[in-house]
């Protein structure tokens, strides 16, 4: 928020001239915003270019104001400008329409000063995050449409920045995260945005191949090396020569194979099963795990030297329950992705359906969300997916089996954590965003044992 305050964001205030409109204008100017007022009957197109507002605030004092034209003109800009509507009770019936059209927010008057300023700042933050996200997405290249990393949260923005940073460096990367967070998706993004993008990308799941077969898969064999080996066969390292080999669930790699993998990482050389000749390859190795490999090392199940070789650049993917603001974007993405496959032409998910998805903790993360979205699309009888079409496990709902006190404590802790994430661990800015005194915000952090440095980007 410090950056926004320093540049005095411009707000275009659209409405009928009157006391309330002048009150809003005065409030915004006292709060550090530059304001221009414009009657609703006059085109705002010229203002969008001459004034260049960061946000449009529209007062719907009576029904019938042509807010659709305001949307159309705002969309003429290369970067869509967030629009907040302030409606009287008489015009409240239009709320659902403007929200569906893409309004940033909709408030029923009278609106308190602090509430209005908070909503405006949140809309400006979202606009800034989305602009940064689009910039990062433009920098990233992906092989297929379904390979896109979807999300607008601070966690996803940081992740995309890390991918861009490491993609061209050609170092080994360790990708960590819970099951279903999209570790292979991140690996593909690293490969296709690096120097090896035109060469093979090969993925192997260490937990899905039986131990006796995994070495053969990795290094291949010579003819006659074992019964049934009637011909020589290449392994994955040879197939990936010049490109990238991705080891998913590297924590499940058998201990004897860890030494052989270490040798390849150190020298770029290996021998096939039954062979005496050394094979040289040039392969970038990416690895992923949901396990804590430092614990595996301490308990003797994973080689320490291999861990440090693989962990040249660590990347962590946040779980979905820590970035729930990405759920609507992910739902829309999966809905578009699967419509043709399921032969279902849908308008999308209803507000109540999205709310149900937002209240769920997603132990299976993005993979589970995609499965539930696909299932709900099949269940839907009409053009919209409703709450009743979504089937979720009861023990995954964040509000299940909790007392009111427990739910309140959990909400409070998550709120403080989210504010700290947004402000990158800046407690002064976090307190300002939460509309709390700095001392009171520190008390909340101590209450929930939260430390600001954990939320600061490296």
Confidence of residue 308 (pLDDT cuts 50, 70, 90): very high
SS3 at position 129? helix
10-24, 182-196, 277-291, 297-311: least confident range: 10-24
| CA dihedral (416, 421, 425, 431) positive or negative | negative
For the segment 159-194, what is each residue's pLDDT rounded down to a tens digit?
Answer: 998 999 999 898 999 999 999 999 999 999 999 999
Using CA atoms, how far apart are residues 301 and 243, in angstroms rounded to an integer? 29
**Residue 86 and residue 117 in contact, taking contact as beta carbons nearer than 8 Å:** no
**Residue 217 and residue 235 in contact, taking contact as beta carbons nearer than 8 Å:** yes
pLDDT of residue 185: 94
274-283, 298-307, 435-444: least confident range: 435-444
Mean pLDDT of the chain: 83
Where do the DSSP E strands lie in 227-354? 233-234, 244-248, 269-271, 278-280, 284-289, 313-316, 348-349
**Residue 77 and residue 53 in contact, taking contact as beta carbons nearer than 8 Å:** no
Which residues does residue 348 pair with via DSSP β-bridges, in sequence order? 384
For the segment 385-399, what is each residue's pLDDT rounded down to a tens digit?
Answer: 999 999 987 655 444
Residue 401: pLDDT over 50: no
pLDDT of residue 6: 40
Give the best-scoring range by mean pLDDT among 38-42, 89-93, 273-277: 273-277
Q: Which of 171, 174, 176 is nearest to 196 (CA)?
A: 171
Using CA atoms, how far apart are residues 4 and 128, in angstroms rounded to an integer? 9
Confidence of residue 1 (pLDDT cuts 50, 70, 90): very low
9-18, 247-256, 259-268: least confident range: 9-18
Label each residue of 259-283 as H, E or C.
Answer: HHHHHHHHHCEEECECCCCEEECCC
């Amino acid at each position: 928020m410090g950056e926004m305050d320093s540049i005095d964001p411009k707000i275009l205030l659209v409405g009928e001239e009157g006391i309330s409109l002048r009150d809003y204008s005065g409030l915004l100017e006292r709060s550090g915003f530059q304001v221009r007022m414009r009657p609703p009957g006059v085109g705002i197109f010229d203002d969008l270019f001459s004034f260049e507002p960061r946000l449009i605030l529209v007062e719907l004092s009576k029904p019938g104001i042509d807010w659709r034209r305001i949307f159309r003109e705002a969309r003429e800009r290369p970067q869509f400008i967030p629009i907040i509507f302030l409606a009287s009770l008489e015009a409240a019936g239009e709320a659902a329409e403007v929200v569906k059209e893409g309004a940033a927010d909709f408030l029923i008057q009278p609106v308190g000063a602090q509430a209005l300023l908070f909503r405006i700042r949140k809309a400006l933050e979202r606009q800034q995050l989305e602009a940064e996200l689009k910039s990062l997405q433009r920098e990233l290249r992906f092989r297929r449409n379904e390979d896109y990393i979807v999300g607008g949260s601070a966690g996803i923005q940081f992740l995309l920045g890390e991918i861009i940073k490491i993609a061209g460096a050609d170092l080994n990367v360790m990708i960590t995260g819970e099951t279903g967070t999209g570790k292979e998706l991140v690996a593909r993004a690293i490969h296709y945005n690096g120097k090896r993008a035109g060469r093979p990308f090969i993925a192997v799941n260490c937990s899905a191949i039986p131990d006796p077969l995994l070495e053969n898969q990795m290094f291949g064999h010579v003819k006659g090396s074992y019964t049934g080996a009637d011909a020589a066969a290449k392994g994955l390292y040879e197939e990936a020569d010049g490109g990238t080999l991705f080891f998913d669930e590297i924590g499940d790699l058998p201990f004897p194979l860890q030494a052989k993998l270490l040798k390849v990482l150190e020298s770029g050389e290996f021998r096939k099963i039954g062979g005496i000749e050394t094979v040289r390859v040039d392969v970038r190795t990416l690895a992923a795990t949901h396990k804590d490999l430092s614990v595996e090392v301490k308990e003797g199940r994973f080689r320490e030297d291999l861990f440090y070789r693989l962990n040249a650049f660590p990347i962590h993917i946040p779980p979905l329950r820590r970035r729930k603001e990405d759920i609507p974007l992910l739902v829309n993405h999966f809905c578009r992705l699967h419509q043709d496959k399921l032969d279902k032409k849908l308008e999308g998910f209803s507000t109540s359906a999205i709310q149900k998805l937002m209240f769920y903790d997603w132990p299976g993360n993005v993979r589970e969300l995609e499965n539930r979205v696909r299932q709900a699309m099949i269940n839907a009888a009409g053009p919209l997916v409703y709450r009743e079409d979504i089937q979720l496990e009861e023990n995954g709902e964040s509000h299940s089996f909790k007392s009111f006190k427990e739910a309140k404590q959990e909400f409070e802790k998550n709120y403080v954590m989210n504010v700290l994430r947004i402000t990158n661990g800046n407690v002064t800015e976090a307190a300002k965003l939460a509309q709390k005194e700095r001392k009171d915000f520190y008390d909340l952090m101590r209450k929930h044992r939260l430390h600001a440095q954990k939320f600061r980007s490296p």
